[in-house]
A and B are shown apart, each in its own frame.
Chain A
Amino acid sequence: MIRYIIRRLLWIVVVLMVVTGLTFIIFYVFPTTDPAVLAAGRNPTPQLIAQIRHIFGTDRPLFTQYLIFMKHLFLGDQYGWPGFGFSYQDLQSVKQEMYSRLPVTISLTVGAAVIWLLMGIPIGIVSGLRRRSVADRASMLFALLGVSVPIFWLGLLMLYVFWFKLGIACSSGYVPIFKTAGTVGSYGLLPWACHMAMPWFALAVGYAAFYARMVRGNILETMSEDYIRTARAKGLPERSVVFKHGLRGALTPVVTMFGMDVAFLLGGAIITEVTFDMQGIGLYAYRAVINSDLPAIQATTLLAAFFIVFANLIVDIVYAYLDPRVRYT
């Protein structure tokens, strides 16, 4: 097991290197608008552009730039470790900006995850156990509708109906729970939850639908296994057959899916954050891409990839504990 984990950690390092390389090629090597020109403002003199280029470090050869990026990543830069440099837009530390935005994305992801688990798993279990009942048909119709609806459209519809027309929901934007140095305007648990409610729901619907389908399929498969028949044959009440034997087999694959989905969203729920104007990692990444803010792009991409590969490892380890049939060597 230890050997397996070490091998996987090495593989993670390889993947992350490849990710930085790919990001570098896409955003630095491909012809793009020169960030120095963007930062210089209107009618800049060539000297100013050259100066800015020197500050950004984009006057160096590409390969040197990549090596410097790597050096800063491993050894840290003027903002400490890991060194992500400064944003080309406001010349502030990218790392600081990401730290301050992380609570937004975490709030969004965790809340939505709770909602989609609470919706998806019970729906899936009920329709799997009562196959072809009215409840099953209704849930599967909901599931198909849920996976088909575009998040941004659902979000705008909800904003229009519940906030603008009915006035019972909070507007878009993010309100923090705790007051910190950078807090402007209101804060607190209730305003936070009120502003999060619609983004949570909009984000969770698609996942809930997907999980309901997956759990239903797993239940159907598990309940026809031999060990379920054995459990029934030895006279266990149906309740413990389902809850003790059936669900264990049916819900284990959900763990894998869940870990990956949460990790993916922690890297930035771009569409939800754009729709609801929430200043999270996703919106930061999106702005960075649109404005050719290269250090911010590198940092957000690397963070997202890190979450994904790391969740992959954790999920595999957890799986080995949950499913005794899985053994790693």
Chain B
Amino acid sequence: MAQQVASEPVVDPTEPELGRVEGRSPTQLVWARLRKDRYAIAGAAFIVVLTLLAVFAGFIAKYVVHHGPNEPFIFSGTAPDGIPYGPSSSFWFGHDTLGRDVFVRVLYGARTSLIVAVVATGIAMIIGVILGLMAGYYRGAVDTMVSRTIDVMMSLPILLLAIGLAAVCGSDRQGCLGGSMQWPSGPASTAMWFVALLLVILGAMQWSRGKAARGGFIIFLGLFAALLHFPVPLPSISPGLPLVIFIIAFVNWTYIARIIRGQVLSLREKEFVESSYATGASDWRIMLREIMPNLAMPIIVYSTLIIPTNILFEASLSFLGVGVSPETASWGRMISDASANGIYQFAPWLMIYPGLFLFLTTFAFNLIGDGLRDALDPRTAK
């Protein structure tokens, strides 16, 4: 469904309440609608409580339940046959197979989930908005490049590549991508120079025929091929949280870029952009001061809708054993540990509590995102 951008509030004169109130800003209107959405409020309340629990996890562990997330109660927490003991008055969610407190680990798991989801979504948003804005505003060669990259990214078996990246980079404490990459020398190098030269000539020919967009794109490819001959320094990404965040952001920006591009394509044809252009505003000014404010609301909505997906993504990676490092508590990994050797059949709390928190968190974020979307869409006014 096409999102109506809330730059001009659509006031329905037949609706008494909206007709009476004069001059409310779009943000106020959205807020007023959102406040009436009980589900969204409930979702937000849950997230606030969860965030508090995550922030004060250390405090709760130390002063309320009196043990940390990695403290093993091997002998008091597990039976001689290795089956952990269930929930009790001091271990509210029971023990895990190492005797650790499941409750404290669930709280620390909330930390992991929230950090990964919010940071990864933020990074994906930044990349997606910048590329989507450029593609939609400049169109032509820039758009071709961004859109084709998105096409390729969307044809990739994303989860498989994510597992692969996580496994490959996580196997080494140094992480991966560190150091430099360079095209191999020898005949391969000569061939590549040739390809680069050919592409540049081809691009220049297209350009001279008036197909600047296509020509520019081909020349860019040629320059890229030439650039491969020089060592490209790459930042190192260490395994654990940063790696998982990087992977999730890397596979997520395409969705955002596509949405933003579509929005910008229609926004740039609006009169206010035209008038700004007529007064001699620069491209940067138009993008940042005219178009960006109109993107604020879609950006907020899509970030709230993508956060739950990313929480599930992190949990899935951890469930598959390639997420955060083992000593970091993560809901996905806890469920994965519970499923190993079918231990959950005898100790279901190992799987129920982390899963329940994971489920409720994604559900709460979805409630908020849904409420926000409804509040922003004038057609669904309640």
Contacts and interface: CB of A to CB of B under 8 A. Distances in A.
Contacts of A68: none
Contacts of A274: 319-320
Given A32-B168, A157-B355, A160-B345, A271 B320 contact: yes
A61 B184 contact: yes
Interface in A123-165: 144-145, 147-150, 152-153, 156-157, 160, 164
Contact of B359 (A153, A270, A290): A153
A150 B359 contact: yes
B156 A22 contact: yes
A152 B316 contact: yes
B358 A268 contact: no
A154 B159 CA distance: 19
Contact of A19 (B156, B165, B171): B156
B184 A62 contact: yes
Contacts of A305: 155-157
Contacts of B104: none
B84 to A, nearest CB: 16
B316 A157 contact: no
B231 interface: no
A30 B321 contact: no
Given A63-B188, A217-B1, A286 B163 contact: yes
B335 interface: yes
Interface in B32-53: none
Interface residues of A, number: 49
B339 interface: yes
A171 to B, nearest CB: 10
Contacts of B321: 290
Contacts of A27: 164, 168
Q: Classify the interface of chain A: helix, strand, loop or mixed.
A: helix
B363 A145 contact: yes
A289 B171 CA distance: 12
A275 interface: yes
A225 interface: no
Given A150-B355, A160-B345, A270 B155 contact: no
Interface of B: 1, 151-152, 154-157, 159-161, 163-165, 167-169, 171-172, 174, 176-177, 181, 184, 186, 188, 308, 312, 315-316, 319-322, 332, 335-336, 338-339, 344-345, 348, 351-352, 355, 358-359, 362-363, 366-367, 370
Interface of A: 15, 18-19, 22-23, 26-27, 29-33, 61-63, 144-145, 147-150, 152-153, 156-157, 160, 164, 217, 221, 264, 267-268, 270-271, 274-275, 285-286, 289-290, 292, 297, 300-301, 304-305, 308-309, 312
